[in-house]
Amino acid sequence: MTPESIPHALDRMLPRVEKPGRYTGGELNSIVKDWATARLKVCLAFPDVYEIGTPNLGLAILYDLINRRPDLLAERAFVPWSDMEAAMRAAGLPLFALESKRPIRDFDLIGISIPYEQLYSNAVNFIDLAGLPLLAAERDPRAMPLIIVGGHSAYNPEPMSDFVDAFVIGEGEDVIFDILKVLDEWKAGDAPKIELLRKLAGIWGVYVPALYAPEYNEDGTIAAVLPIDAAAPAKVLKRIVPILPPPPTRLIVPYIATIHNRYAVEIMRGCTRGCRFCHAGMITRPVRERRVEAIVDAIEEGLKNTGFEEIALLSLSSSDYGDVVDLVRKVGERFAGKHLSVSLPSLRIESASVELMEALKDNKRGGFTFAPEAATERMREIINKPVSTEQLLETVRAVFERGWTHVKLYFMIGHPAETLADVQAIAEVCKRVRDEGRKYVGNKVSVTAGVSTFVPKPHTPFQWVACDSIEQIRAKQSLLKRELRGPGLKLNWNNPEETQLEAWFSRGDRRLGAVLRAAHRKGIRFDAWQEHFNYPAWLECFAEVGLDPRFYTHRERLIDETFPWEHIDVAVKKQFLAEDYRWSLRGQTRIDCRERCFACGILPKFTALRMQTPAKAWECPEVKPKHLRRATTPELPVAGD
Amino acid sequence: MRFTGHLDLHRAWERTFRRAHLPLAYTQGFHPQPRIQLAGALPLGFTSSCELADIWLEQDLPVESTLTALQTAAPPGLAVHQADAVDDRLPPLQVLLRSATYAVQLEAEQPDLAQRVAALLAATELPRVRREKAYDLRPLIEALAVDPQDPAGLSMQLAARDSATGRPEEVVAALGFDPTAAHYHRSALLLAETGSA
């Protein structure tokens, strides 16, 4: 099939598939550039269907930045749903990009964003649907696109490393242009692929797995992941942007409903709270905020360009945004009364949050969401999210008092050292919240407990801990199902088998590449979709390649174990994480690190960058050049090794 | 655009008005919705050059500048041809809609197309089942002809009343062709006279 015949083939195919609007492109603010004159062509991919991938802000940022450059072109691609995949395979139609309808394999670079592990099987299938060899070693970037993977899952790149030429560790805004420059220069010459890989490995934030080899101990743990090429650094330091660039305002306006339909703007990146289970909180340091004016102006412009009826102010912890009251007041003033809804997720459990929401909402529709994560004081100390039940009750009182009737509470089971009593307490807290609501809104009160299962993540203080077994999870869930019955109570939980998949891969090593290949041969994909997830088939894949999945999940790691992701440097030191883990076992908490720097490692690693950025741009303490330190700020709390 | 469903099309219109800074009126109540009423749902996959909608604004605005603003703000695939200020007391388009005309392009030229059309029109009833409901298609076909310029083209006029809507795919199927292998274009919406209202 030639590139020119794809649109015609689609014309015939689309009336026969579910939600054909997934595959048409042509949306407002999508950008179709001249193929012939673009110097380099980038395909930005999300390995799930259009409705899931379209609202992804990371891809939107890169789409905007790349397309601003006159010599470059960026298009989008998602994976087809199974009906469309079958039709495409039957017709010999290769995966294509939405803008030009060109085959993916005609691009120079494919950037796949993989925020979570359930997308791995889809990402492998994406490469196959593009008509490319699955293994990076078998792909020739002279004739095929270079495949780069980024997103939060890339902080442990090893399970996907067989399939990927290079990973971006960290933030993409600057590094994408470094990568494209190297690719452009390499394309102009005739050097072999290894030369391209070496150059890529020299870019801050780029990990080239082919230049590293893992060595294993007899028990299967990692001895070391070492560079096997002089061009490869021993550790790959994550990339960050010192100051957040202006947010994109021309977001694509989909014609069909997607999981989020809104103008989303990141108000800050990073989090100072230090919850020990939280992957994002550890890997996205340091905290950098956008100014209120920049946010409000972006919203103004964004709404003008999109017409969205919802605004989302995104961050890991909205309440911690420095000028949150001012931000909310200004957003309320500028945009209220226009049938706009504003969402401000991730609010702290305190009555101030309720006041914030009240300023933003023009009605009491929807509800209020809080994430206590644990229900006993002991457990909250272990995870470092010390919010008392009293404080939660006081907060929900403020919610119900103002006429809201619905509260959603997020908890996790499977935290380290958790007992059934801690789980029982989740049910009790939910009931107390419900009873509190009854006093104000009567039987209209509804409390939803969203109870997910904790999965230990790399680069967090809990990277050492063993996961609960399926049996333990089931026991805890059935306790909750039994207890959280009755009027005004609702329980949501995750399938424990799906949690296993996430857990295998989140702390997996390079040997899991063989498992992913076996899974692809079996037709495994769409693991994030219940109707597709096939646990027994995954167990067969592990058996086929001779690996025990429990090795990755149900094993407590020794404190000095070398991890498969040890050569990935997120700037937060392993020593700090280990100390925090020990603190956790003692039930010792840490306060917000804006109050006091705990020397997690960010500052010594990024000293030079910090010195160049304005004092208020980061929440980390200011660092002044050495010769000025003693003279001006003798008390400056410089964090150091 | 033609694969945008009815509800999503509502959204597209709402966003167009928002981008145009035109003050859409919203319904009252717990879930306020923009007051946009499309005359008749356009089936998924159809193109059209004749869609009509009743849209309420919060204030009276000059028609000319409103039209210009909409034309500028419309997304790719939606072209706004005309706008009129309408007396709010008149019945809505949904009530006035009587029939719709379609141009249907079959996948390939069919040598016996004229005979099949004649046979279909000669039938006194055309019992069919759609979504597990039996109905008679014949009274819904008001006109049906082979396009004189295009031997693979059909033009048809079908009833489009509230409880009696003819679907062109059904006509194509009744003619014995694969309805998913044709292209459908809605060319006109025919309304009842409003003079007496």
pLDDT for B26-73, tens place per residue?
998 878 899 999 999 999 999 999 999 999 999 999 999 999 999 999
Q: What is the pTM of this model?
A: 0.94
Q: Give the count of beta carbons closer than 10 Å to the beta carbon of residue A309.
A: 18
Coil/strand/helix, residue A12: helix
Q: Give the tens place of pLDDT for each residue, A277-300.
A: 999 999 999 999 999 999 999 999
Query: Could you tell me the pLDDT band of residue A634, with boundaries at 50, 70 and 90?
Result: very low
Model pLDDT, residue B163: 81
Residue B69 to chain A, least CA–CA distance (Å): 12
> How does residue B197 score in pLDDT terms, banded at 50, 70 and 90?
very low
Parse chain B into domains and list their residue ranges: 6-89, 95-191
For the cut 50, the answer to whether the pLDDT of residue A635 exceeds it is: no
* pLDDT recorded at residue A641: 38
C-alpha dihedral sign at A427, A433, A436, A442: negative
Tell the CATH topology of A3-235. Rossmann fold (3.40.50)
Paired strand residues for A618: A288
pLDDT value, residue A346: 86
Residue intervals of chain A classified under CATH 3.40.50.280 are: 3-235
Which CATH number is associated with domain B95-191? 3.30.70
Task: With CB atoms and an 8 Å threshold, state whether A26 touches B8.
Answer: no
CA angle A618, A619, A622 (to 5 degrees): 70
Query: Which pLDDT does position A364 carry in this prediction?
Result: 59
Could you say which of A24, A306, A308 has the minimum Cβ distance to residue B3?
A24
A382 in Cβ contact with A584 (< 8 Å):
yes
Kindly state the average pLDDT of the residues A44-52.
98
CA dist A486 → A6, A279, A489, A491 (Å): 55, 35, 6, 11
Q: Which among B24, B75, B180 has CB closest to A16?
A: B180
Q: Which residues of A touch B105 (CB under 8 A)?
A: none
**Residue A629 binned pLDDT confidence (cut-offs 50, 70, 90):** low
Q: Does A256 sit within 8 Å of B5, measured CB to CB?
A: yes
pLDDT at A575 over 90: yes
Residue A627 confidence class, pLDDT cut points 50, 70, 90: low
ipTM: 0.91
pLDDT of res. B2? 87
Q: How far apart are CA A248 and CA A233, in angstroms?
A: 33
Which residues in A lie closer than 8 A to residue B11 (C-beta atoms)?
A: 257, 261
Q: Which residue has the higher pLDDT, A634 or A307?
A: A307
Residues in chain B within 8 Å Cβ distance of A12: 107, 181
Collect all residues of chain A within an 8 Å Cβ-Cβ radius of residue B75: 27-28, 253, 255
Angle at A218 between CA A216 and CA A219, to 5 degrees: 95
Which tens digit of pLDDT belongs to each residue from A506-525? Answer: 999 999 999 999 999 999 99
DSSP codes of every residue in B103-127? EEE-SS--TTHHHHHHHHHH-S--E
